[in-house]
Amino acid sequence: MIVFAGLCTLDILQLVPAYPADNEKVTALDQTVAAGGPATNAAATAAHLGSHAVLMTAVGRHPLATGIYADLATLGVDLIDLTADDDGPPSVSSIVVSAATGNRAVVSTNGASRSLSAPDLTPVRRARAVQVDGHYPELALAVLREARRLGIPTLLDAGSWKPVTPALLPLLDVVVCSADFRPPGVTDVPAFLAAHGVRWIAISQGPAPILRWTGAGLVPQPVPPVTVVDTLGAGDVLHGALTSAVSRRWPLTDATFAAALDEAAAVASRSCASFGTRAWMEPGRRSS
């Protein structure tokens, strides 16, 4: 079992020929609706790759939540909804993807309107790895503390710096951060993370090589080339595939961490070759 703790949104995606200008209406080429958010897409990825994925998050019982429940059930992700009695709507992300570039624009509340109390940690005690995204600080801290107490590997999807990040770092074994992850006043991110006790560190750079920290410096690891259709969720896919790979390789060595990153990068690249966060999972689909 792998436990993912963090944000869950209802993602409404529109594929357009080009971004609309002010006051312009554009007819979409395609659309899709799916459960989204860093922890959610990572859990979906791990489940697709054969892991038993458990997602601890906030959804609620608003009618809009029906789509989230259905999507996660189809994917085989076990949902633990920590706000099951909340009548308010789930977080919604409105996403416009440019067919010309594969880039996207996203508007979302990112769960900012909800706070979560510490949950029942029984699932964590049965986990082979846990991953948090930091969107619900109380949840992330509770999950990481319990996993660390039990010697279960802990991972962070470090897409951006958050106020809770300093409290999370001493509890983490593996941190893969985006190129946008910038601790205030810090220029050497890997050294900063290592100084806070993180041993396994990498920096993702989209189509550019992943930079893997060895303890002495950064080593580039190329990612598989792909004809990009949509980059939405690619980082989340990377983290989900990496967490699955780490759970099978723990405890890590430099060689097994490098192999886990290669495995995760291949999956993330494949996800960029189709529109949305689910089409790449369809049987028989191959990357370009």
Query: Which CATH number belongs to the domain containing residue 68 in this structure?
Result: 3.40.1190.20
Specify if 78 maps to a domain. Answer: yes
Specify if 14 maps to a domain. Answer: no
Residues 88 and 203: their CA atoms lie apart, in Å, by 36
Residues 161 and 177: their CA atoms lie apart, in Å, by 9
Confidence at residue 136, expressed as pLDDT on a 0 to 100 scale: 93
Q: Cβ distance 46 to 243 under 8 Å? A: yes
Confidence at residue 113, expressed as pLDDT on a 0 to 100 scale: 67
* Residue bearing tokens 């470090």: 158
Return the minimum-mean-pLDDT range out of 5-19, 57-71, 96-110, 157-171.
96-110
- Which residue segment(s) compose the domain that 62 sits in? 2-6+38-89+111-281
Specify if 29 maps to a domain. Answer: no
How many independent structural domains does the chain possess?
1
CA distances from 138 to 88, 112, 116, 188, 244 (A): 20, 13, 6, 28, 24
Q: What is the pLDDT of residues 19-46, one digit of tens each?
A: 989 999 999 999 999 999 999 999 999 9
Q: What is the pLDDT of residues 188-236, one digit of tens each?
A: 999 999 999 999 999 999 999 999 999 999 999 999 999 999 989 999 9
Specify if 23 maps to a domain. Answer: no
Which tokens hold the place of 134? Answer: 């930091």
Q: What is the pLDDT of residues 60-103, one digit of tens each?
A: 999 999 999 999 999 999 999 999 999 999 999 999 999 988 88
pLDDT at 58 over 90: yes
Q: Cβ distance 97 to 15 under 8 Å? A: yes
pLDDT band at 285 (very low <50, low <70, confident <90, very high): low
Residues 120 and 86: their CA atoms lie apart, in Å, by 18
* pTM of this structure: 0.94
Q: What is the pLDDT of residues 98-149, one digit of tens each?
A: 998 888 899 988 776 677 777 899 999 999 999 999 999 999 999 999 999 9
Confidence at residue 288, expressed as pLDDT on a 0 to 100 scale: 36
Specify if 71 maps to a domain. Answer: yes
What is the rounded average pLDDT of the residues 171-180?
96
Specify if 53 maps to a domain. Answer: yes
Specify if 144 maps to a domain. Answer: yes
Specify if 15 maps to a domain. Answer: no
